[in-house]
Structure 1
Amino acid sequence: MLELDHLIAFLPGPPDAPEGLLLDEGARHVGQGTRNRRILFSRHYVELLWIDDPEVERASRLGFAARCARTAYPFGIVLRGTLPEGRFRRYTVPDGPTLAVHEGDPEMPFLAVAELSDAQLTGLVHRPVPPHPGGANGIVATRMTGAVAPGPRLPGVSLTPDGPASLRLLLDSGPPLVLT
């Protein structure tokens, strides 16, 4: 099994909260040179990420600077479950888990997998999160445009190669969230 864990929007700097949605305080990613704020839902979240230490980011070899500068595809997908076929390398988040990171090209979304067995995935307890001011409790569907598909099937995400880069989220309440 494989399911969506979270989506990433790579940004040139700190974000404002999208209308009708709350941002958490976020965290600094030690050893990655990045910082984030998140739009939390019970089963998924949207991570808004930017560079806050360029030297540390370069040393991480994750390539986030190009994505934040919009010279590479500026969105990403993190899945959880059984690793699909494809070219993946192991990356251990400093003080965190080890992820399988897809070795795609800059025109593909960043793709990583937090490996969990089917039993672990089935037993996963999701966090309670109060609804957002606009009433949204979760993501119903996700579409990325302007991206080359990374190869593996991406549960919960559809990709369209045509058009400018964007991430469109259909939420269970309120208007869609569109990030460009």
Structure 2
Amino acid sequence: MLELDHVIAFLPGPPEPPAGFFLDEGARHAGQGTRNRRVRFPRHYVELLWIEEPGVEDLGFAARCAREAYPYGVVLRGTPPDGDWRRHTVPGGPALAIHQGTPDMPFLAVAELSDEQLAALPHRLTPPHRSGATGIVATRLTGATPPGPRLPGVSLTPDGAPSMRLLLDSGTPLLL
């Protein structure tokens, strides 16, 4: 089983909060050279990520943040489907299977969890958003080459400029 964990918008620098949404303080990714802030929901989040220490990052995020590669990504939870994956352990974090795609594909990773572990995941307490949203219903990535595996709750359109549009359970769209 696979389910959405979070989506990523790779940015050239620190973000402004999207209108109607609360951004947490985020985290610095030790050993990865990146920093983030997040729009959190009980089961998902939107990660706004940028390079804080150039030259340290090793996952190809610098090109994505500079908009030299597709600037959005998807992280799922569960068991990786068949395909070309490499293993990566986030320093102080989870083990990920990272899809070996091309720069015109979204970054794609799977936090490896069994179905039992998925079922046992607690809901996070999150501050309420002014928009009333409590979760992501669907994600549309435009201008992306599909990575191959089916992505639950994510549709990809190869035509157009790169963009990410989230449909939230409140009916409020979030365009990144």
TM-score range, shorter chain: over 0.9
1:80-99 map, 5 Å: 80-99=77-96
Corresponding residue number in structure 2 for 1:101: 98
Number of positions where the alignment pairs a residue of Structure 1 with one of Structure 2:
176
1:71 to 2:58 alignment: no
Q: Is the 2:133–2:172 contact (alpha carbons within 8 Å) kept by the matching residues of 1?
A: no
User: 124, 141, 145: which is aligned to 1:144?
Assistant: 141
1:116 to 2:97 alignment: no
1:155 to 2:114 alignment: no
Corresponding residue number in structure 1 for 2:38: 38
1:126 to 2:97 alignment: no
In structure 2, C-alpha distance between the alignment counterparts of 1:84 and 1:176, rounded to whole Å: 29
TM-score (norm 2): 0.97
Q: Which amino acid aligns with 1:2?
A: L
Q: Is the 1:135–1:174 contact (alpha carbons within 8 Å) kept by the matching residues of 2?
A: no
Q: Is the 1:67–1:75 contact (alpha carbons within 8 Å) kept by the matching residues of 2?
A: yes
Q: Which amino acid aligns with 2:101?
A: G
Corresponding residue number in structure 2 for 1:171: 168
Following TM superposition, by how much is the alpha carbon of 1:131 offset from its aligned partner in structure 2, in angstroms? 2.1
Q: Which amino acid aligns with 1:55?
A: G
Q: Is the 2:86–2:100 contact (alpha carbons within 8 Å) kept by the matching residues of 1?
A: yes
Identity %: 74
Q: Deviations over 1:71-120 (max 9, x none)?
A: 10000000000111110001111122211111100000000001111111
Following TM superposition, by how much is the alpha carbon of 1:134 offset from its aligned partner in structure 2, in angstroms? 1.7
Q: Is the 1:130–1:137 contact (alpha carbons within 8 Å) kept by the matching residues of 2?
A: no
Following TM superposition, by how much is the alpha carbon of 1:174 offset from its aligned partner in structure 2, in angstroms? 5.3
Corresponding residue number in structure 2 for 1:12: 12
Q: Which amino acid aligns with 2:33?
A: G
In structure 1, C-alpha distance between the alignment counterparts of 2:116 and 2:26, rounded to whole Å: 29
TM-score (norm 1): 0.95
In structure 1, C-alpha distance between the alignment counterparts of 2:117 and 2:84, rounded to whole Å: 24
